[in-house]
Structure 1
């Protein structure tokens, strides 16, 4: 006794294969793809140059019924508050400048305070500024009008912002200068 098989034409087999593939595709969940772009940046400088990398940002603050302060540590970049000031969220940072140059020594100076004015006017706040730096050979240290060895340096600016009791809400900003003399 033999087994008899069913005979199909090539066209019928092709239609059966297409139908099976279509059924399999419908039974599977669809595939999704996601794409996102990024940004790459670089700055090429000549010797005896100073470039700003980041601005000083005290972040979002809530002013209370008593005066207080918000401080960004120039060495660590950490924000702390005192008095009636309450910090909100993250997004704070010390200012960062990078420089390279000098034949023998470098002197660093600049503004010791900055006035922040509310967008639209009507109110100001003042921050005292503190400078720190790293050099190509060492750790980070606070600066006055300090002489540094020549080479590559990163300068950090932090400070303490005075916030008045019930300081008017708004966006405040101001500018300050950092001066590096390459000798």
Structure 2
């Protein structure tokens, strides 16, 4: 099947070649298809989020359809795909729960308060979280890094920090040595 698949609030997209990419086009490092067989091998109650299956896929799973032209499956050479080959999502190292960022983490990286992050979320200026664990939204680090670099005001913020660093460097260069007399600038 050559259809594109979107995942995790449309943050990731599987292209026609089976490569998982960020919304902005870069490939997701270490990403691979999450299949039905992968999910069935998970023995926890906290299974990975999956996509909604289409009618053709449901019919194929129920044995009511043989044609897999509209069914998104992993292809393995000439072997006929089985139900375990059905692609239901994406797995990538950045989506491991211990690597994902909470509201507090995002606030720290953005140098703002958690309330400001909540405000960004309510206004829709922060990307949707990739995962919701209970009531806790979680973002992948690359998505937040991209947002920080491209959000409105990012250029002004970078210029402000650069100017502050330059002032500090200048102050360090003109610092008076201990015991030296201070002079007023002319």
Does the TM-score normalized on the shorter chain lie above 0.5?
A: no
Give the helix-richer structure, 1 or 2: 2
The alignment's TM-score, normalised by the length of structure 1, stands at: 0.22
Q: Which has the larger radius of gyration?
A: 1
Q: More strand per residue: 1 or 2?
A: 1
Q: Which has the higher contact order (CA 8 A, sep 6+)?
A: 1
TM-score if structure 2 supplies the norm length? 0.22
